[in-house]
Amino acid sequence: MPATELPFTDAEFSRRLEKVRAAMREKDIDVLFVEDPANMAWLTGYDGWSFYVHQGVLVFHDAHPIWWGRRQDANGAVRTVWMDDDRVAAYPDHYVQSSSRHPMQTLAALIREHGYGRSRVGVELENYYFSAKAFLTMQEELPDASFVDATALVNWQRAVKSEEELVFMRRAARISEKIIDGVFDRIRPGMRKTDLVADIYADAIRGTEDAWGDYPSIVPLLPSGSDAAAPHLTWDGRHIEPETATFFEIAGCYRRYHAPFCRTVFLGTPPKYLRDAEAALVEGLEAGLDAARAGNTASDIARALGAPLERAGIDRSARCGYPIGVSYPPDWGERTVSLRVEDDTVLEAGMTFHFMPGLWMDSWGLEITESIVIMPSGPAECLCNRPRALFVK
């Protein structure tokens, strides 16, 4: 029977499915195979740590989706998806990490069984979870099918969040605030980073009174001093030094919905160059937030941010944000819109972004960011509510 504790209403899942079917019609796709676990969850409710093996969802125009995956994970599917049990299909365990057979052979057989062996099959070609071997096997097993690149087809349908989704993201934001508050309360010179990370995880997983904490799709990032020039370093066993800056890139997560949030802490007296960078960055952030309005474009945000930085002599060429929502490791972004001057995507109410203009210079770094919602009128709403500044202790 369908899961009894679905995170969303039947109407919400129906809305999502119809959006995807409309996008399939635009690309003349007969059946769509979705392997991205975030897209699987968004369409069906499936939630499990099983994305290290091949699994996916088949989307049809005239029938309910089929969840397909490893046999032991089918037990998780019947407990989390909205479809009936007969829409869960599984392959035997001897297909897992085998050198003589491949799970995609069973998926191809399932596609043929439902009459789509000679059809246009959409696949997410550019995706962490869909390997070259998987695609080659599908081609071999379905020689009469035509394959259509459906990369990000579902991701784009997720761009505008429903009110039900925004409830989850706001709960995630409360967890993000708790994490950052805990960092500032606990951090001190001489503290081992491993101990601080343990506290970060404790706050993230305990969550708040109305929101238990889910695991975030990216681990805490917290480089210090000159290491903060590198945005994606994790922690080690060293101690936190005085007179240094450490940025913290974290995200509260609730039912797989994320609210990334970054703040930088300086232990001691910040040098002038860091204060000057802070002033330019905050000015750019606030200009970007004002530009983040329905009807404007992603590039408008990037240009608004860039002007104060340019005046301060800060050369920042990277994009300054990306869409967020439901996600699984290794990334909490949705991989569609980029907040950069080359992206003229029109902003719509309900879109959500991590406005992330981190500064990573040759010998230092500074991160002050906001997760935002595009509103029907006026500037963007910030999901978190903490001072937009360099934290000094």
- Distance of alpha carbon 281 from alpha carbon 271, whole angstroms: 16
Q: Which of 241, 264, 254, 258 is nearest to 180 (CA)?
A: 264
* pLDDT tens figures, 84-112: 999 999 999 999 999 999 999 999 999 99
CA distance 154 to 151: 8
The CATH code for residues 10-157 is 3.40.350.10
Burial of residue 115 (number of CB atoms within 10 Å: 0-12, 13-18, 19+): exposed
Per-residue pLDDT of the chain (393 residues; tens, 9 = 90+): 666 689 999 999 999 999 999 999 999 999 999 999 999 999 999 999 999 999 999 999 999 999 999 999 999 999 999 999 999 999 999 999 999 999 999 999 999 999 999 999 999 999 999 999 999 999 999 999 999 999 999 999 999 999 999 999 999 999 999 999 999 999 999 999 999 999 999 999 999 999 999 999 999 999 999 999 999 999 999 999 999 999 999 999 999 999 999 999 999 999 999 999 999 999 999 999 999 999 999 999 999 999 999 999 998 888 999 999 999 999 999 999 999 999 999 999 999 999 999 999 999 999 999 999 999 999 999 999 999 999 999
Contact 357/364 with Cβ under 8 angstroms? Answer: no
The domain ranges of the chain are 10-157, 163-392
- Fold: same for 10-157 and 163-392: no
Class of domain 163-392 as given by CATH? alpha beta
Where do the H-state alpha helices sit in the chain?
A: 10-26, 37-44, 71-80, 103-113, 132-141, 153-157, 163-186, 193-206, 272-291, 298-311
User: Could you tell me which residues are beta bridge partners of residue 67?
Assistant: 57, 88
Distance CA 87, CA 82 (A): 10
The model's pTM is 0.96
